[in-house]
Amino acid sequence: MFKILVVEDSQIVRKILNKLVEDNPHFQSVLCADYAQAKAKIESDEEYLAAIVDLNLPDAPRGEIVELMLSHNVPTAVLTGNFDETLRNVLIDKGVLDYITKESRYSYMQVIKLIDRLRKNLTTKVLVVDDSTTSNSYLSAFLRKFRFQVMSAFDGVEALKILRENPDIKLVISDYMMPNMDGFELVKAVRQDRAFQDLVFIGLSANGNSMLSAKFIKSGANDFLSKPFYHEEFFCRVLQNLEAQEMLETIREAASLDSLTNTYNRRYLFEHGEALFRQAKGEVGLSVAMLDVDDFKSVNDTYGHKVGDQLLQEFASLMGDYFGDDLYGRYGGEEFSVMSTRQYHLFIEDINKFVAAVRNHEFTEHRLKLTCSIGICSEEQETLDQLVDIADARMYNAKRSGKDQVIEMD
């Protein structure tokens, strides 16, 4: 839970901000009505993700609150009733995140969106690529102000090395003119590597050539900015590109997950299972287990589908305790699958532990006692489908043979 310091003398505005902050499950608001209260809070041992401050307070009418927040290294967004461009430029130069007027509810939502971006940025890695030490340092400092994890490179060759060593980098901001490998060559090299297909790439250049932007984007960049650029424009471009990529990731994840159990769905299991099968073929081998909840229909008939759904959710959660390092998910109905490249004796050990855990677990608020039947195929086969079919047949054989058991061989 991240604490957000709200400093606002208007009770109405304070209530609006408190509601918007508290609506975010990651945030807790700390409310102050004046400078004195804010000073007491900020000088305590509490840590704040950010502060939202009114510029003109009864006991600090000349914006002293901004100096207080920045002196304690708290990222600060300023809310004000009147727009003053000169003052805005002064505050931006001092290091505030943004200067937003209290025009409408959208203005308040905008500042909450900004603060939530800070939270996400804490785990977002950015690589700045620029051979100019001054420019590289300036961009890095600016991004750190928004709480990004920033890494630096001074040419395209160094950038590629850092990217391969840090595959979780989400954003690259690269200059055009650089020694050894320029920005065009870098973005083309990045897009040729499937591991970097989701990477957001923004090109920069002080060159006034109007064709440069199109050339960068045609080479694979997501966006392009000409130097010098305005503070707001740079951050808006970064924000929009990251949000677009995050939206694609959300859509892709939704297409891969079973909506009820939040485990992988059948399509994902087969797509990624094929990769595991190819990787394991002739080496460690791939084991496939098919699991089925015994007598699940009677649970639905007796307690209703809502309880049945809750039972499946708890069953899937229990699977995560034993098969977290394997590929597992819901195959369909009350049937689940696990695909593992672990040594077989370790895998079967966890299978047996899981069966015992299911027996001992009390499911749902009705404290239901259950068992499960499992079929396993670990012998080498020509296709993944054959592995699954054999494991599935053994699982049904386990059910016909009395349930609550594991069958490994025919």
2-118: CATH, from 3.40.50.300, 3.30.2130.30, 3.40.309.10, 3.40.50.2300: 3.40.50.2300
Q: Residue 193's pLDDT is what?
A: 87
Higher pLDDT, 122 or 253: 122
pTM over 0.75: no
Alpha-helical runs (H) found in 223-379:
231-256, 266-280, 296-303, 305-323, 344-360
Q: For residue 203, count other CB atoms closer than 10 A to its CB.
A: 27
Confidence of residue 215 (pLDDT cuts 50, 70, 90): confident
Domain range list for the chain: 2-118, 123-255, 266-407
Average pLDDT over residues 73-82: 91
Domains 2-118 and 266-407 share a fold: no
CATH superfamily to which 266-407 belongs = Reverse transcriptase/Diguanylate cyclase domain (3.30.70.270)
Residue 78 pairs in a beta bridge with 53, 99
Window from 98-107, 133-142, 333-342, 343-352 with minimum mean pLDDT = 98-107
Provide φ and ψ at 28, rounded to 5°. Answer: -130, 125
User: Would the pLDDT of 125 be above 70?
Assistant: yes
272 three-state secondary structure: helix
Q: How far apart are CA 49 and CA 400, in angstroms?
A: 58
Q: Residue 141's pLDDT is what?
A: 92
Q: Residue 253's pLDDT is what?
A: 81
Residue % of the chain over a pLDDT of 90: 78
Per-residue pLDDT of 139-164, as tens digits, reads 999 999 999 999 999 999 999 999 99
Q: Residue 282's pLDDT is what?
A: 66
Per-residue pLDDT of 175-208, as tens digits, reads 999 999 999 999 999 999 888 888 999 999 887 6
Fold of 123-255: Rossmann fold (3.40.50)
Q: Residue 89's pLDDT is what?
A: 87
